[in-house]
Amino acid sequence: MEKVTIFLDFANLDASAPGRIDYGSLLRYLGEGRNVLDAFAYVPVDPRAPQARDGVIRHLQQSGWMVNSKMGKIAGQSYKANVDVEMTIDIIQCAELVHPDIIVLCSGDGDFMPLIRFLRRRGVRLETAAFLSAASREVKTESSGFIDLDLWYRESCRVFPPFPRQDFFRSGSTPRHRDARFSEEEYAFLSRSR
């Protein structure tokens, strides 16, 4: 059985997903038929709302991911955390110290191309997993293998309702309706996370 280590660029996947992602299901899918040595998720944190991602981080941890969160820095109207550098260092260290058969990078970000080329030149098998809409052409063609998460999402996540969108709420009001499948606590998390 192939040994695999998985690295998740949370911001990239979250921004490109067509709706809510069950990260436990994603981990099981990526590790299916393989021996998952470890799974790491890199989560940027908005310094203006440091607890806003606590629910997502808890979900990732409970789903088997080791979470590395990084406080971002204000950049105009938004923020930047740049977890790509930490991910790159950790992936290289994993390749050189752990020696998994396969490293799976869950990101379609073209900024990872130097890493992909570096590892492939050293004989490391690096697969990328991303939604097609967010995967650069180079990431799809130059990684050792590309895992189309749109196929997985259609099969696995279609049972989950999407997160409530921002326009679902009127400023300062409560939701117009609530999905009865969620407890008050779960619904509060869903409402805050987008």
pLDDT digits (tens, 9 = 90+) for 69-88: 988 788 888 777 889 999 99
Is-contact 147 139, C-beta < 8 A? Answer: no
Judge if 110 and 170 occupy the same domain: no
* Token representation of residue 85: 């550098």
Q: Among 65-69, 91-95, 133-137, 171-175, which stretch is predicted with the lowest mean pLDDT?
A: 171-175
pLDDT at 117: 97
Judge if 107 and 13 occupy the same domain: yes
Q: Kindly provide the b/e burial profile for residues 141-171, where b requires at least 16 CB atoms within 10 angstroms of the residue's own CB.
A: eebeebbebeebbeebbeeeeebbeeeeeee
Which 3 state secondary structure label does DSSP give 108? Answer: coil
Q: Measured between alpha carbons, how far is 60 from 38 in angstroms, rounded to an integer?
A: 13
Judge if 175 and 147 occupy the same domain: no
**More confident site: 193 or 106:** 106
Average pLDDT over residues 65-71: 92
Q: How wide is the angle at C-alpha 21 spanned by C-alphas 114 and 44, nearest 5°?
A: 50
Domains held by the chain: number: 2
Judge if 8 and 81 occupy the same domain: yes
| Chain centroid offset of residue 27 CA | 10
Is-contact 95 124, C-beta < 8 A? Answer: yes
pTM of the model: 0.79
Query: Within 10 A of 108 (CB to CB), how many other CB atoms are there?
Result: 26
Q: Which structural domain range is residue 183 located in?
A: 163-194
Judge if 83 and 176 occupy the same domain: no
